[in-house]
Amino acid sequence: MENIKKGLGTKPIMSLKARYIWNNGEFIPWDDAKVHVMTNALHYGTGVFEGIRGYFDNNQLYIFRLKEHVARLLNSVKMYGFGIDYSEEELSRAIIETLRKNEFRVDLYIRPLAIKGVGPIGLDIRKLKTEVFIIAMPYGKYFEKEGIEVTVSSWKRLSGQTVPILAKVTGHYVNSVLAKLEALNRGFDDAILLNEQGRVCEGSGENIMAVKDDTIITPPLSAGILDGITRRSLMEIAGDAGFSIVERDMERSELYTVNELFFVGTAAEITPIFKVDGRVVGSGDIGPVTLKLKKLFTDVVKGRIDKYKKWLKPVW
Ligand SMILES: Cc1ncc(COP(=O)(O)O)c(C=O)c1O
Look at residue 245 in the predicted model and tell me its pLDDT: 98
Per-residue pLDDT at 16 exceeds 90: no
User: Which domains occur in the chain, in start order?
Assistant: 2-138 (3.30.470.10), 148-301 (3.20.10.10)
Pick the atom of ligand 1 nearest to 231's CA: 9
Per-residue pLDDT at 109 exceeds 60: yes
Task: For residue 265, give the nearest of 64, 114, 35, 120 by alpha carbon.
Answer: 64
DSSP string, 128-161: --EEEEEEEEE---SSSSSSEEEEE-SSPPPPTT
Look at residue 43 in the predicted model and tell me its pLDDT: 98
3-state secondary structure of 259: coil
| 3-state DSSP helix/strand/coil % of the chain, to nearest 5 | 30, 30, 40
Is there an atom of ligand 1 within 6 Å of 138 CB?
Answer: no
Per-residue pLDDT at 178 exceeds 50: yes
Residues ≥6 apart with Cβ < 8 Å to 63: 52, 53, 54, 95, 96, 99, 110, 312, 313, 315
Task: Report CA(266)–ligand 1 centroid distance (Å).
Answer: 6
Is there an atom of ligand 1 within 6 Å of 206 CB?
Answer: yes
Is there an atom of ligand 1 within 6 Å of 23 CB?
Answer: no
Look at residue 14 in the predicted model and tell me its pLDDT: 58
CA distance 246 to 250: 11
Beta bridge partners of 169: 48
Per-residue pLDDT at 2 exceeds 70: no
Active-site residue identified among 116, 168, 180, 313: 168
222-251: pLDDT as tens digits:
999 999 999 999 999 999 999 999 999 999
Is there an atom of ligand 1 within 6 Å of 39 CB?
Answer: no
Residues ≥6 apart with Cβ < 8 Å to 109: 15, 51, 52, 53, 54, 136, 137, 139, 266, 267
Of all protein residues, the one whose alpha carbon is nearest to atom 2 of ligand 1 is: 205
Task: For residue 315, give the nearest of 93, 28, 70 by alpha carbon.
Answer: 93
CA distance 198 to 316: 47
Q: Is 189 exposed, middle or buried (0-12, 13-18, 19+ CB in 10 A)?
A: buried
Per-residue pLDDT at 13 exceeds 70: no
Task: Report CA(139)–ligand 1 centroid distance (Å).
Answer: 17
125-142: pLDDT as tens digits:
999 999 999 999 999 999
Pick the atom of ligand 1 nearest to 72's CA: 10
Q: Give catalytic status of residue 168 as yes or no.
A: yes
248-293: pLDDT as tens digits:
999 999 999 999 999 999 999 999 999 999 999 999 999 999 999 9
Look at residue 5 in the predicted model and tell me its pLDDT: 40
Tell me the pLDDT band of 112, cut-offs 50, 70 and 90: very high
